[in-house]
């Protein structure tokens, strides 16, 4: 039996009561949800259902929207990829926030909604999400490191980089049996002793330094990365073959 979409074992009772009652649509609960987002960032918990409820309140009450909770929600959603949470969240944002910032260099031109800092932040986070979705993990770390805005966006989310490495490792472990060390270093954004510690102690994988100059990282067999043969069996009756043969001899009209 699968886990329910709204399942969150760390969810406080008062948040659960709001989500299951009419107060879910009460604008006064916006501050409660905003505080809950901050708690998730601090304590490394995650509650997509509650975060979507806050974004829905913003959708109904645009004057209550605050930049920080929105960017924190999107940043937290990155830490659970490859789930669709990031896309679910962005679909509840106003279209002007999702628009790329204006590229106009005319200082006399009126600013567009897309020039707002929130729009730029959402665009930046969307770039990261697209890189993760395309399994471009090396480019993900390079992009994260090259822009100071990313440092500001992830600052509130405790353990962001560690959480991302764990998610990347889970994805790699589901699809690979062994990976060249240099490749995996790029995917995890780690080298040297920190890489060795993460691979051996956190992931429980082995490093075989005897195979080539850079060695290979060996991933234990699991139900996702184990190669299994698939036998396809079709039940075709003899009468069906007979119809095919007769059609071959039928004269065209």
The CA distance from 143 to 137, in Å, is: 10
Q: Compute the residue count for the chain.
A: 253
- Looking at residue 177, its pLDDT comes to 85
Domains of the chain: 1-101+112-158 (1.25.40.250), 160-225 (1.10.10)
Q: Which residues have a Cβ under 8 Å from the Cβ of 28 and sit 6 or more positions away?
A: none
For residue 60, how many C-alpha atoms fall within 13 Å in the half-sphere facing its CB?
Answer: 12
Residue-by-residue pLDDT tens, the chain, 253 positions: 456 667 788 899 999 999 999 889 999 999 999 999 999 999 999 999 999 999 999 999 999 999 999 999 999 999 999 999 999 999 999 988 887 765 444 444 444 444 458 999 999 999 999 999 999 999 999 999 998 999 999 999 999 999 999 999 999 998 888 999 999 999 999 999 999 999 999 999 988 876 555 689 998 887 766 666 666 666 666 666 666 666 667 665 5
CA 44 vs. chain centroid, Å, equals 15
CB of 166 within 8 A of CB of 203?
no
């Amino acid at each position: 039996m699968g886990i329910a979409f709204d399942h969150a074992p760390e969810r406080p009772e008062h948040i659960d009561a709001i989500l299951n009652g009419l107060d879910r649509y009460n604008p006064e609960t916006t501050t409660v949800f905003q505080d809950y987002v901050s708690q998730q960032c601090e304590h490394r918990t995650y509650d997509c259902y509650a975060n979507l409820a806050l974004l829905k309140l913003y959708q109904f009450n645009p004057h209550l929207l605050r930049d920080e909770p929105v960017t924190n929600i999107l940043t937290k959603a990155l830490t659970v990829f490859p789930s669709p949470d990031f896309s679910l969240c962005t679909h509840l944002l106003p279209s002007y926030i999702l628009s790329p910032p204006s590229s106009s260099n005319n200082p006399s031109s009126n600013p567009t909604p897309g020039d707002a800092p929130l729009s730029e932040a959402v665009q930046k986070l969307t770039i990261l999400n697209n890189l993760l979705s395309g399994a471009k993990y090396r480019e993900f770390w390079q992009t994260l490191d090259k822009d100071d805005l990313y440092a500001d966006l992830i600052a509130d989310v405790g353990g962001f980089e560690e959480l991302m490495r764990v998610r990347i490792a889970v994805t790699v472990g589901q699809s690979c049996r062994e990976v060249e060390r240099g490749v995996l270093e790029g995917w995890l954004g780690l080298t040297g002793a920190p890489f060795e510690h993460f691979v051996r102690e956190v992931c429980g994988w082995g490093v075989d330094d005897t195979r080539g100059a850079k060695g290979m990282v060996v991933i234990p067999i699991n139900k996702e990365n184990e190669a299994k043969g698939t036998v396809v069996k079709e039940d075709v009756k003899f009468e069906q073959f007979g119809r095919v043969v007769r059609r071959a001899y039928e004269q065209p009209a």
